[in-house]
Amino acid sequence: MAFAGAIVIVLLLRGFAFTSCLIPSTGMENSLLEGERIIVNRWSYGLRIPFMSVFSYHRWCERPVKKQDIVVFNNPAAIQQPMIDRREIYISRCIGTPGDTLLIDSLFTVVSPEVQFNPDKKRLYSYPAGKEKLMTSLMNTLSITDDGLMGNNDSTHVRSFSRYEFYLLKQAINNQNWLQPLTENKDNDPKPLIIPGKGKVLRVYPWNITLLRNTLVLHEGKQAEIKNDTLYVDEKPTQHCYFTKDYYWMGANNSVNLSDSRLFGFVPQDHIIGKASLIWFSKEKGTSITDGYRWNRFFRTIK
């Protein structure tokens, strides 16, 4: 009887207070590593009531998501699954809250200084193909996770590193200039992107028209389409959009990983599950049962 009671308590805690989540990719390195298991606090932003298809959307003790929080949420674009709480689970860092204005490029990558300062955010770097063996050796010596080549040809290889990892590598090669940041498009003029909020009205621009249209259709229950570069909502042309929900912009640490708002757009408040709180298990992918454990990361608080 006591054992059965313990099982009930564990299930209640898992469903109503905390849950465990697997990190499936390298998108959040170096904050979170592929293969780690984390504890998600469902109460961080207020408890989302389960069985949303029955009770609709409600939260107990609702609180807003804060910028730089690492957030667990349901995939906003998975419209083939009508039940939000049964959709695929994603994890990203919140870099935009309702009412914020972010600077974005043509690929919807945030270019604001605040986000660029994140030391864990990865960028692409190139080096001569002939340096591959040396690069692999340096990464092993410096304990830099090998994410694999992001691109290569006969003369050049491309990998992603955080700023700190780039610093370590440059020190190791005595600041030789064969390892360089990949050249960015200087003609890509950043544009302002305002994050929608409950009761807010947003102006339609050429660079946000598709994003706003998708948000209205997927999350606001509106009929919206684009004709001749004009947004039509409920069959009427408009230059402004009204929103009934709060939304967030999520970004992966690894800029080459597209499992963030560049792929699925704004994340509505009702898709938020909770905050990533604690790493409880960490093991390198592809290692045997007896090795590959990252003991120094067990029970580490997530920041």
Residue 57 shares a structural domain with residue 195: yes
Query: Is residue 52's pLDDT more than 80?
Result: no
Tokens for 160, please give them: 């992603």
Residue 63 shares a structural domain with residue 168: no
Can you tell me which residue has the tokens 């691109």?
151
Residue 196 shares a structural domain with residue 79: yes
- Across-strand partners of 161? 123
Residue 71 shares a structural domain with residue 157: no
Return the closest-CA partner of residue 120 out of 200, 33, 202, 41.
33
Residue 151 shares a structural domain with residue 252: no
Residue 150 shares a structural domain with residue 175: yes
Q: Is residue 234 part of a domain?
A: no
Mean pLDDT of all residues belonging to the chain: 85
Looking at 186, 221, 251, the residue that finishes a domain is 186
Structural contact between residues 23 and 38, judged by C-beta atoms closer than 8 angstroms: yes
Residue 88 shares a structural domain with residue 119: no
Residue 184: partners with Cβ closer than 8 Å, 6 or more residues away: none
Q: Is residue 267 part of a domain?
A: yes
The CATH number for 92's domain is 2.10.109.10
Round to the nearest angstrom and report the end-to-end CA distance of the chain.
40
Residue 196 shares a structural domain with residue 103: yes
Q: Is residue 211 part of a domain?
A: no
The pLDDT of residue 189: 65
Query: Is residue 292's pLDDT more than 50?
Result: yes
Let me know the angle formed at the C-alpha of 87 by 241 and 95, rounded to the nearest 5 degrees: 55
Range from 135-144, 175-184, 237-246 that averages highest in pLDDT: 237-246
What confidence tier does 8 reach under pLDDT thresholds 50, 70, 90? very low
User: How does strand 272-281 pair with strand 18-22?
Assistant: unpaired
Looking at 186, 211, 229, the residue that finishes a domain is 186
What confidence tier does 252 reach under pLDDT thresholds 50, 70, 90? confident
Residues 241 and 38: their CA atoms lie apart, in Å, by 38
Domain encompassing residue 169: 113-186
The CATH number for 167's domain is 3.30.70
Query: Is residue 246's pLDDT more than 70?
Result: yes
Q: Is residue 261 part of a domain?
A: yes
- Number of domains composing the chain: 2
Question: Could you tell me the pTM of the whole model?
Answer: 0.72
Residue 10 shares a structural domain with residue 95: yes
Longest dimension (CA), the chain: 69
